[in-house]
Structure 1
Amino acid sequence: MDADAQGRVRKEIAEAPWVFVLMWLGFPLIGGALLWGLSRFVDWLSGQDWVPFEGLFDLAASAPEPYLTIGAIVVGVLLGLGLAFLGHADSLKVTITDDDITATRGGKSKKVATTDVTGAFRDGKYLVLLGANGTELLREKTDIPRERMRQDFIDCGFTWHEADPHADEWRRWVDGTPDLPKGGNALLRTRTKELKKMDPDLADIDKELRDLGVMVRYDKGKHYWRLSNRD
């Protein structure tokens, strides 16, 4: 939307509604169909030593019809609903107001003052907001179409870069890099360990890195870094 009742919200940028409709309808249907198909082979699968969770298939094979078919479909639908929930929760919504830009995902929000933003761009699937001296204020993954996001930011009066204006400054991080400020290597080691967790919490680490003037991005299992252009 372009404005709320008080005229404060300028844009809400999110996945198109049809994406969520497809997710909530499609995933349960696919899940139910897949497990129904699997249930047709449960007798054969229960006798194979190489099949994982063999005991589960033995239990399913002992179930009479129509309970086996009904149970398989119900479980498949529930699994599909679970995937739809996770997909919906992981989707990004960006709200631009007169005062700030808020990125919300899974009930967690990151807020950046509108006046601090000097430009925005897409780095692959990541939305990046830039501040003074090349500082990255926000880097969030999103599947929102790039062109729609680009136009919405331009409509709100922001400078949109067609590519990362600091692309040639990024360097691959190797532990012990001497060019990082004091404490930078330790923070990147901690960040690497945190990324191995199921639900990594990087906000505090990234803030500490930004305070040191270190920008960081993670691509294909490797960390890359650059320094902000501070005086």
Structure 2
Amino acid sequence: MTADSRTTVHGGAAELVLMWGGFPLVGAGAGWLLAAGAGWVADLPWAPLQGLFETLSRLPEPHVTVGATAVGAVAGLVLAGVGTAERLTVTVDRERAALRCDGRRQEVPRRDVRVVLLDGRDLVLLDADGGELARERSDLDADRLRSAFRAHGWPWSDEDPYRGAFRLWVPDLPGLPAGADPLLRARARAVERNRHGDARELRRELGRLGVVVRDEERRQYWRLTARAVRPDADQPPMVETDPR
């Protein structure tokens, strides 16, 4: 492997074909079924949205079927566009890793990274203090990611070396740095409402305080980094690691 070689990991052309070909077809089919079954559903006394189905059943054919099919196909195209934008692409060489997702590009120098890992579906890069340099949701193949980083000499770990240091967050929990609890409250609301951009920004703000957050079934777990200002001594110990 030459010094300037690099490895790129992405979903590949098959994933794009599936999204741009499959999603519109599924949407069109759903629209056709909606129009075809509108009269039958409107006659069911327990069915929800009966007003909508009654209106559809009264519209003239073939206009309603063509219109519903077209709307479903357009919805599929919109979903395909969102899915394409949210695809993670990872490019790795000996000096840096570039992560591109949802119109954002982040480069992380190799010298700053202590360990690389997959936390569930998240690709995570940690520094020497246990802080997160990057965290991106990933549907990429774990073996391909592992091989790409290891091929260029990056310290990959098959498990989170700090996993045992995480604690479940509840409001007013002692042990957090000043200002962290309000941020965690705000982030809990953002996660509950699926406001992913807000949750990402609040994660960055917590990182500046030395607090690392991970989500599990909409619950927040936290730990402190080595550089966090600890308000008391009752803290989970940081785990010393030697990732290989």
TM-score scaled by structure 2?
0.82
Deviations along 1:52-102, whole A, 9 cap, x unmatched? 333332332223332233223212211211221222222212233565433
Deviations along 1:135-189, whole A, 9 cap, x unmatched? 1211211110111111111122201101111111111112112111122212211
The CA distance in 2 between the partners of 1:199 and 1:158, in whole Å, is 29
Q: Which runs of 5 or more residues in structure 2 are unaligned?
A: 229-244
Give 1:32's aligned residue. 28
Alignment of 1:1-231 (within 5 A): 10-96=6-92, 100-195=96-191, 196-230=193-227
Secondary structure of the equivalent of 1:144? coil
The CA distance in 1 between the partners of 2:5 and 2:65, in whole Å, is 50
The CA distance in 1 between the partners of 2:58 and 2:96, in whole Å, is 59
Secondary structure of the equivalent of 1:87? helix
Alignment length (residue pairs): 227
TM-score scaled by structure 1?
0.87
Sequence identity (%)? 37
Does structure 2 conserve the Cα–Cα contact (< 8 Å) formed by 1:214 and 1:226? yes
Aligned partner of 1:206: which letter?
R
Secondary structure of the equivalent of 2:198? coil
Deviations along 1:106-132, whole A, 9 cap, x unmatched? 212333333211220111111010111
Calculate the aligned-residue CA RMSD, in Å.
2.4
- Cα shift at 1:220: 0.5
Does structure 2 conserve the Cα–Cα contact (< 8 Å) formed by 1:9 and 1:95? no
Q: Which runs of 5 or more residues in structure 1 are unaligned?
A: none
